[in-house]
Structures are given as C-alpha cells and as structure tokens.
Amino acid sequence: MRTEADVVTVKAELEMLDREVTEWADGRFQAAADVVTRCDQLRRSGRDVERANACRFRTFGPVWQSRSHSFP
C-alpha cells in the first residue's frame, strides 16, 4: 500500500519529468524554427536553393513539400 509520502514523491518526479519534457520540446521547436529561417534565407538569396531544400527536407522529412523544387 502506498503511503502519502510515496504519492508526494511520485507527483514530484512526474512534475520534474514534465518540466524536462517541456524544456526539451521548446528547444526542439526553437531549433526547427531556426532551420526554417536559415533555409528560407538561403532560398530567397538564390545562392544555394538545392542545399536549403535538402536541409529542410532532412529536418522535417516528407511533411514539408515544395512545388517549385525537387529533392534529391
């Protein structure tokens, strides 16, 4: 049978895990946003469109599709 102390400990551990997951997800979201920004800058500049598309495709997989460019 669980004691009140056990319940408090489990709740604290769950809250800590929730914070860690949230921080991780926020970091991943920011990293993805940074990739999108950089890829868009490369595409707009026209310097390395294929590389920008390939980078974005590797980051997001087949979810991201472009009508004007093909992926290697």
Contacts of 40 (CB under 8 A, 6+ apart): 52
CB contact at 8 A, 24 and 3? no
pLDDT at 18 (0 to 100): 87
Q: Mind listing the pLDDT tens digit for each residue in 43-66?
A: 777 776 777 777 766 666 654 444
| CA-based radius of gyration for the chain | 21
Q: Mind listing the pLDDT tens digit for each residue in 6-21?
A: 888 888 888 888 888 8
Task: Quickly state the pLDDT bin for 70 (edges 50, 70, 90).
Answer: very low
pTM above 0.85, yes or no: no
pLDDT at 5 (0 to 100): 84
Where do the domains of the chain lie? 4-60
